[in-house]
Amino acid sequence: MQPNHPLSSNPVTREAATKILVVEDDSNVAAVLEARLESFGHKVCGIVKTGPSAVSGALEHRPHLVLMDILLEGDMNGIEAAEQINRQMDVPIVFLSCLSDQHIMDQAIKTNPFGYVIKPYNNSELKTTIEIALIKHQAAREREELIAKLEKALLEVKKLSGLLPICASCKKIRDGKGSWHHIEAYICSHSEASFSHGICPDCLKRLYPELNHKRGCPPPKC
């Protein structure tokens, strides 16, 4: 599960181009990357060079995906920027880096990225990684939305439990505020049950002895 934040209001749709934020401090690399992404049919909604600008750019543009270089200008690297973005919004992040150091990769994995591509990369590798990241993120969103709907449905299910104070004579039920209610009304308001009324054989004999007598049943004894 993602950290506590609202789901992005900008889900990926195949009818519109995927918006991608590029975080890369090398202008030449960024330009080549932008051209590649546009050739894939995506739209680069912004190119930034620093960690803080990556965070602000993600919040401003609400991209469908962030391509994040790890080594950036300034004091905040791409991993730290990804952590801040994850705390504020739900967007898949794919790291692009020339670093294959295991320690760096372990730190990046802690941010739950949707991909990690080692430079230099080819077009097919980049395109496939982006597509898989978008599909995985959409599946995760749908799973979270389904869980939220199920949790809401469970909260709306009314269930009777515990000890119910009921009158031994009239069978009314006392609620938590001390008011007494007919058992039918109480159960209907606290569960999904409903009632249809009839008369059981024992009550038929007691209340309508003449009907039982006509049916050949002896009248009840006093």
pLDDT for res 189: 79
Cβ-Cβ contacts under 8 Å for 205 (sequence gap 6 or more): 212, 217, 220
At 31-81, the pLDDT tens digits run 999 999 999 999 999 999 999 999 999 999 999 999 999 989 889 999 999
Phi-psi region of 178 (alpha: psi -120 to 50; beta: other; left: phi over 0): left
Token pair of 66 as six digits: 């962030």
Cα angle, residue 135 at apex, residues 54 and 149 outer, rounded to 5°: 95
Q: Helix (H, G, I), strand (E, B), or coil: what is residue 46?
A: strand
pTM of the model: 0.62
Q: Which of the residue ranges 91-95, 102-106, 202-206 has the most confident prediction, judged by mean pLDDT?
A: 91-95
Mean pLDDT of the chain: 83
* Domains by residue range for the chain, with CATH: 19-143 (3.40.50.2300)
Please name which of 82, 127, 131, 132 lies closest in space to residue 108, comparing C-alpha atoms: 82
Strand 173-174, strand 180-181: pairing: antiparallel
User: Which residue reads 């995906």 in tokens?
Assistant: 65
- In this predicted structure, the answer to whether residue 208 has a pLDDT above a threshold of 60 is yes
Residue in 61, 73, 75, 49 with CA at minimum distance from that of residue 21: 61
Q: Which residue has the higher pLDDT, 65 or 14?
A: 65
